[in-house]
Amino acid sequence: MAHSPAVTLLGYLAATLTTLSFFPQAIKILRSGDTSAISLRMYLLLSVGIACWGVYGFIIHDGPVMVANAITLLPTLVVLQRKITQMLHNRQSRRNPAG
């Protein structure tokens, strides 16, 4: 289904704003290394949901959906990777307190 240029532009604007909203959290975590306030379950669900939206956008040939979710997946995966790494490090530290 073809949309008017204004509707497509609105889609890209919404995609840009929501995509950009994920970068401050990822940058803060990269700088501080602290993921203690981040929910692992939430970021797992979010990452899978974003990936699904990206596939959906590809299937229906919707540019804003594809682009936004492809870009948004990057900072969410960075946060998820850092969260998992910190959790594994904390778990290891509890097992080997002298290590």
In three state form, how does the secondary structure of the chain look?
A: CCCCHHHHHHHHHHHHHHHHCCHHHHHHHHHHCCCCCCCHHHHHHHHHHHHHHHHHHHHHCCHHHHHHHHHHHHHHHHHHHHHHHHHHHHHHHHHCCCC
pLDDT tops 80 at residue 1: no
pLDDT at res. 72? 93
- Note the CATH number of domain 5-95: 1.20.1280.290
Q: What is the mean pLDDT of residues 59-76?
A: 91
Q: What is the mean pLDDT of residues 19-34?
A: 91
Q: What is the mean pLDDT of residues 41-47?
A: 94
